[in-house]
Every structure is written in structure tokens, then in C-alpha cells.
Amino acid sequence: MTSLDVSALGHEERTDSGNRPDLSAPSRREWESWYRSRLRLGDTLIVVTSVFLAQVLRFGGSDTVISTAGPEQLTYTVLSATLAVGWLASLGIFNTRSIRVIGSGPEEYRRIFAATVRLFGLIAIVSLLFQLDIARLYLAFAFPVGLIGLTASRWIWRKVIYRKRSSGSFQTSVLVVGNRLAVLGLARTLEQGASDGYRVVGVCMPGPAGRTEAAVVVGGREIPVLGNEHDVTRALELVGADTVAVTATEHLGYAGMRELAWELESKDVDLVVAPGILDVSEPRLSMRPVAGLPLIHVGRPRYHGATRRAKRAFDVVFAGAILILISPVLIATAIAVKVSSPGPVFYKSERMGQDGVPFSMLKFRSMVADADKQVGTLMKDNDGAGVLFKMREDPRVTTVGRIIRKYSIDELPQFVNVLRREMSVVGPRPPLRREVEAYDGTVKRRLLVKPGITGLWQVSGRSDLSWEETVRLDLSYVENWSMTGDLLIVAKTLKAVVASDGAY
């Protein structure tokens, strides 16, 4: 049977456990429309409530007149109605309900923040130009309450979308086109990002592979091969995909890509192109049309300048505030460590910092005093990945040590390292000297920035990650770090620590 003979299976024999989406589930257009209507309704309720609550809080039930320089009279009821309409319009202009960003988190929040801040900036300019004396308390209540409400609404809906997608609903079915290696790479990436809702239902591979292979296996799931790059239209009819993802486009070429885009226009099917650039975030990418040819410009990573100074300022303020707030916990832990087992309260571990400069990383001692000398005899029971040494049931850990490790209390003294400029609040995992000596040229890029108390590795599985995944996350952070990303990682770290995910 050739690759295109899968039609002989019949559509009625395909179930949700196969590669064709469940026909009883809503189509992408249906769930997109449902989702956006709920967002629009929620936004309207939040904005209207915030604006009129601000009026009631400031003026009670009276309809107060705003003082102006002219004879015209403007009441706060009219202003509240105008502000609500303008706020909702601003959310629409900034595409805060775009289906392209649902469930993306940071981008959703950024658009809501930008739409709200610019609207209130416009209000400030208008009130200055027309000399409108708008009560500050009125705006000071409406702005933060509305912004927090809109952000919380998106967070709640993200959870709804995640649950729906985990159960197989709200999916975007994808047909991937490209050579075998690129197809497998993209399919694995989409499989790992299940919360994004992309499910590969078929592939088209150029050349003989598209005719001779019946299926490719990704994550234990067989995905049918439905022909080569010329069989995309027919393959869409077989699997009912609503998105075509093209990767490694050299077989299609410029003319082939243009013809494919024209063919998909009439089928209401989206076309996306995977450029093959891994772990590069959106802020570093920009489109530059040159002689009619769209080129993707990849910006340089931001290691220096104002962004680095801003990161340092955040480190100092955050670390100082945390040390003050947790000082009772630090004192209690120090006493518990001292009285529970002989040895010092703190354990100083040599780690390699930025540019490979060694420093002493502080931790509360969670093991017996001579723990380092026992590593050689325990290496055969190593549970760590790659060059890491980890044990789930480490006999060197003390009773108090198990408790403080479970909740990451042993790592709190590292905020002192942050104040000493040896570490950052967020960054790659601080490596040992023997780990760095085993690094290849690629992994050494982790040393371009300061190691962190937390990072992508901390909120993505901690000790349960493979060595390769740990390296990938650290390199991704080095390439794409931003202050917004750091704040999100800190928030996720608190959640991971409370749940004790992957800690041992």
C-alpha cells in the first residue's frame, strides 16, 4: 500500500485515538469563535465594573460635573461610559483577543498592559489639552483594578484552555511538510508543547521517502506519511488538518511556497513556516522585506548595556527584600541545622560563575560534614543526568536536610551571593568545576551570564530533567533573557517550590 492509500481505511474507522481529530469535537473555527466571545464578554464586564466602581467610590451616587476651562459641562457618568468604550476599543486595537496569542501567557499580558497604559496616557494628554480636572482617585482606582481584573481573567481562561487541550479538545490539527529530519524535529517540538494545542495528524516528505514510508513515529504515536510536497492538497482531504506547517523549504522553493499559499487560501487552511531557528524568542525576531522577499532578522542576545544594569538593580532590590522578609526562617533553620548534626551551619560549594570565574556558593548544610568525600563511593548509584551527580535516596542527607531540601530552604543563603554579585536571582544552573571541564563549545555559552538561584531548569522539572533538556533550557535563557521573563520565572518558582516538584 502506498502512502496515499491510507484513504482506503475510511474516515469512519478513524477515532480520536488515531491521527484524525475527533469528529464529535468542535472544529477549530467553532472553538475559536466560542473562546473569543467569552473573552469579549469577560472584558466588557471587568471594564464596565472597574470604571463605574471607581465613580461610586469617589463620588458616591451623585453624578458630579467635571470642571473644565470652557462653558461645556461633562459629567462623570458620561466620562465613565466613554472610558469603558475606549478601553474596550483599545483592547481590540491591540489584538488582545487574537487567536494567535491565546494561552501564550506573556504576550497576552503584554498586549493587555500596552492597551491599558496607552489608553490612560491618551486620557492624560486629552485632559491636559482641554483642561479637564479629572479626579485622580477616580483614575487611580479604575486603572489598577481594571488591569488586574483583565490579567486575572486571561490567567483563568489559560487554565480552561489547558484543561481542554489536555483532554483532546481545542486542538489545531497540523499537516507538516518537509524533509524527514526536519519533520521529526518539528513534530517532537509540537508534541512536547501540548498546552499550545498543536497536534500533528500527517506529514508530507519530499522525494522517495514520501512514497515509500507509511508512517513516522513521534512520542510513541504513529503519524501517517501522506506523500511528498506535491500531495499537500490531497493529504488535507485525508486528515482534515486546518493548518499546514512547512519546514526545511528547500524542496519547495520560492515558487512552490507561493503556489502552496495560493492553494490554501480557498480552503480556509492556515499556512505557517518554521524557520528552523531553535530557542529564539519573539523579541529577537523581526521581518524585513527585501526586494519582495521576506527575511527574518535575528537580533543579538542582550548581555550588556541598560538591560544588564536593570537586571542587576532588580537582583539587589529583590535579594535584599527577600533576606529581610525571611530572616526569621534563616535564623530558625540555622539553629535546626546546628543542633541536629555536628558540623558548620553553612556549606560552601565551589561553583563556576560568569565567564568561568569560581566562587563559593552558600547553602544551609543538609548533609553530614564529610559528604564530599563520599561521592566516589556513591557514583555507581548516580541518578543525575549527564555530568550531574544526584541521588533520590542519598544516605548523606540529614533528617533536617531532607526537610529543608524538599522546600528549597537550603538554597536561601544564595541571596547573599546575589548581593555579592556572584549570582543572579534568575539564570542558568550554577555548575561545578568538574561539570564545566566536561562542557563542549556549545554548553560553555551558559557561562556568558551569571548563574541563578532559579531559572528555566527550576520551573521545568528541576532534578527530573535530562541533561540535554537542562542544557537546552539554560541556553534558551542565555539567548533570550528579559526582565519580563525573569519575573515570570520567579513567580513559577514559588509555585514549583510549594509543590516540591522534582526536588531531591
The single residue listed with the C-alpha cell 563520599 is 374
Q: Which residues have a Cβ under 8 Å from the Cβ of 443 and sit 6 or more positions away?
A: 471, 475
Q: How far is Cα 490 from Cα 311, in angstroms, rounded to an integer?
A: 13
CA distance 360 to 383: 25
CA proximity to 200, closest of 214, 184, 211, 212: 184
Residue 18 has what pLDDT?
44
Provide the pairing of β-strand 243-247 with 172-177: parallel
- Tell me the residue ranges of DSSP E strands in 160-292: 172-177, 198-204, 215-218, 221-224, 243-247, 270-274, 285-290
Single out the residue of 394, 397, 384, 373 nearest to residue 429, CA to CA. Answer: 384
* Parallel, antiparallel or unpaired: strands 198-204 and 215-218: unpaired
The answer to whether the beta carbons of residues 142 and 83 sit under 8 Å apart is yes
User: What's the half-sphere exposure (Cβ side, CA atoms, 13 Å) at 156?
Assistant: 10
Domain residue extents for the chain: 3-22+171-276, 28-166, 306-499
In angstroms, rounded to a whole number, what is the distance separating the alpha carbons of residues 424 and 336?
Answer: 27
Task: Report the candidate in 95, 10, 84 with the shortest Cα–Cα distance to residue 49.
Answer: 84
Residues 74, 54 contacting (CB under 8 angstroms): no
Pairing of strands 346-352, 293-298: unpaired
pLDDT at position 10: 34
Q: Can you give the pLDDT at residue 282?
A: 64
Distance CA 223, CA 18 (A): 9
- Do the beta carbons of residue 298 and residue 285 sit within 8 Å? yes
Buried b (16+ CB within 10 A) or exposed e, 469-503: bbbbbbbbbbbbbbeebbebbbeebeebbeeeeee
Take residue 33 and report the three cell numbers written for it. 469563535
Residue with cell 541598560: 306
Residues whose CB falls within 8 Å of the CB of residue 389, separated by 6 or more in sequence, listed in order = 375, 379, 382
Terminal alpha carbon distance of the chain: 51
**Which residues, 6+ apart, have CB-to-CB distance to 257 below 8 Å?**
246, 249, 273
Query: CATH 3.40.50.1980: does it fit domain 3-22+171-276?
Result: yes
How would you class 178 by CB atoms within 10 Å of its CB: exposed for 0-12, middle for 13-18, buried for 19 or more? buried
Q: pTM for the full model?
A: 0.63
Q: Which amino acid is at 55?
A: Q
Q: Are 169 and 31 in contact (CB under 8 A)?
A: yes
Query: Which residue, 462, 339, 453, is CA-closest to 400?
Result: 339
| The predicted structure's pLDDT at residue 21 | 44
Cα 247 to Cα 189: distance, rounded to the nearest angstrom: 12
- From first to last of its 504 residues, what are the pLDDT tens digits of the chain? 344 443 333 333 333 444 444 445 567 778 888 888 999 999 999 999 999 999 888 887 666 776 665 556 678 888 889 999 999 999 999 988 887 777 666 778 889 999 999 999 998 888 888 777 788 888 899 999 999 999 999 989 888 888 888 777 888 889 999 888 888 888 888 887 666 788 899 999 887 766 677 888 887 888 999 888 888 888 988 888 889 999 877 777 777 888 888 888 878 888 888 876 656 666 666 777 776 667 777 766 666 666 778 889 999 999 999 999 999 999 999 999 999 888 899 999 899 999 889 999 999 998 887 766 666 666 656 555 444 555 666 778 888 988 998 888 999 999 999 999 999 999 988 888 888 888 877 788 888 889 999 988 777 755 566 777 777 788 888 877 778 788 888 888 877 766 655 454
Q: How many CA atoms lie within 13 A of 462 on its CB side?
A: 21
Residue 373's pLDDT is 66
Q: Which residues of 380-406 are buried (b: 16+ CB within 10 A; e: fewer)?
A: eeeeebeebbebeebebbbebbebbbe
CA 461 to each of CA 6, 155, 197, 339: distance values in angstroms, whole numbers, following the listed order: 39, 21, 21, 32
Question: Given the C-alpha cell 531559572, which residue does it identify?
Answer: 455
Q: What is the rounded distance in angstroms from the CA atom of residue 394 to the CA atom of residue 226?
A: 51
Report the distance separating Cα 240 and Cα 143, nearest Å: 45
Q: For cell 536571582, what's the residue?
A: 425
CA distances from residue 417 to 291, 314, 360 in whole angstroms, order as listed: 52, 14, 8
